[in-house]
Amino acid sequence: MEECDFISELPDSLLTQILLNLTTKDSVKTSVLSKRWRNLWLNVPGLELCSLDFPYPYDKGFAGFMGRFMEFNCGSHLQKFKIMYFECNGYRDRFMDLIGTVVDRGIQHFEVFMNTSKRDDFLRQNIYKSKTLVFLKLYKVELKNPESGVFLPCLKIMHLCKVCDGEDGPLVVEKLISGCPVLEDLKLVMPFDILTQKVLRVSSQTLKSLRLNFGNCGEDFSVQIDAPRLKYMGCYECLFDSIKVKNLSSLFTLDINTKYNVDYGSLLAPEYLRNRDIISDFLTGISSVRHMIIGYSTLKVLYCYSKLGSILQFHNLYYLQASFSSSSLQLLPTFLESCPNLKNLILEFPIKQENIDFQKVPQCLISTLEYIKIQELILKEKSGIKLVNYFLENSAVLKKLTLSFKYYSMKKQDLESYKKLLTSTKLSPTCQVIID
């Protein structure tokens, strides 16, 4: 019985869409399958290439291949363009011209990763007026201040990393955001190097996901966020003056590990009232969040802030994942008091821990907290055992307490000896203690 090649019987239009999901290098390899497949890869409506896929000198073969591919497909629209470009010194202008042609050809998915020591390669201005672009991801691709504004009517996803080396950086990013009327997903990773404008405004009526990683932006730099439909916000490794937020009533998940550009002790000094107001306003702005992941840098600031009074109530918060430092763990009961309806709690326990003494029993332990996981514990470490016992003795409706240990594979005898160190008085009789 003769075997049938059902795939080869598919129409070219469908086969090229299948090949679009492969890298161009893998797509070219299919040309050896049969006469039918010999030139099929040339009709694929997309390119996914790395300059290092070509023999040395990489730039010559890379630019030449791109040019021939574009020439062969000169009458068709491209859907996907994903390029990784390493030190193509002799063909930089040619490469930028090819990218400009790609934009003119109605590209939808546009992704360029450049790892070059020289940063004077500007994208052509037509990138700011694309009527078809849906996905834009740029790494170390220099963006110039738009000469005639920005209008990207279909762009939904934009990820920018190290794209502005000049003093117009924040202004360029602002113009890009404001020129995207359907933007839903925005990620900014150290987007600019030089700061003359001290404020970045992220204002969007359609944005649902926002991720920020700015590093150390220096003093007096702030981010203002106005996004009424935002569901997810992540802020990592950021050191700036303030984050000002408004219209975040739809915020579901907050993932934050950043600190304000202030001395922790300065929050307590009367002359630094402005710093306290900044933190208070931020907590008010995110008060409706339901799911929070908070890192030790932010918790250190909140620990100092809590000495001035109570922290704002997070009535909607039901899931909390927190990484406390040894100095801020004392904040735990106070912070839990601000989460009266908390149901799930994940704690990363610091390795070096001072003696802890928790006196408060927050409302959530009495009425809502059902699942706790404590990570990074050390076997037989006293403060860790004290923390576990604190939850067992005070959690009235707890269903499951999961414990995991750092750098340790527990044997059966270790498991039994550790359980003996735990309290025998569980307030919740149905609570399971699971050692992961």
The residue type found at 411 is: K
CA atoms of 122 and 93, how far apart (whole Å): 9
DSSP H or E stretch at residue 172: helix 169-178
Gap between the Cα atoms of 365 and 369, Å rounded: 5
Q: Which long-range contacts (CB under 8 A, 24 or more apart) does 162-166 make?
A: 162/189, 162/190, 162/191, 162/193, 163/138, 163/139, 163/191, 163/192, 164/191, 164/192, 164/193, 164/194, 165/119, 165/192, 165/193, 165/194, 166/194
- Residue pair 184/208 in contact by the 8 Å Cβ criterion: yes
**pLDDT 10s per residue in the chain (436 long)?**
445 566 767 777 788 788 778 787 887 787 777 777 777 777 788 888 887 887 777 777 777 888 888 877 776 677 888 888 876 566 677 777 888 888 888 899 999 988 766 655 677 888 999 999 999 999 988 888 888 889 999 999 999 998 887 677 788 899 999 999 999 999 999 887 766 667 889 999 999 999 998 876 656 778 889 999 999 999 887 666 677 888 888 999 999 988 765 555 555 555 556 667 778 888 888 999 999 999 888 888 887 777 777 788 899 999 999 988 777 788 888 889 999 999 999 998 766 666 677 888 999 999 999 999 999 887 777 788 888 889 999 999 999 999 888 766 667 677 777 777 776 678 898 999 888 7
Q: Look up residue 260 and give its amino acid.
A: Y
Distance separating alpha carbons of residues 189 and 237, to the nearest angstrom: 10
Residues 348, 186: Cα–Cα separation, whole Å:
28
Q: Is residue 72 helix, strand or coil? A: helix
Radius of gyration of the chain (CA): 27
Work out the number of other CB atoms within 10 angstroms of the CB of residue 145.
Answer: 15
Q: How far apart are CA 269 and CA 192, in angstroms?
A: 33
Please state, in angstroms and rounded to a whole number, the distance separating the CA atoms of residues 195 and 240. Answer: 12
How far are the Cα atoms of 152, 252, 288, 290, 312 from residue 255, in angstroms, in the given order?
Answer: 28, 10, 14, 11, 18
Give the contacts of 352 (CB within 8 A, at least 6 positions apart): 326
Q: Which of 276, 243, 281 is nearest to 259 (CA)?
A: 243
- Could you tell me whether strands 242-246 and 371-377 are parallel, antiparallel, or unpaired per DSSP bridges? unpaired
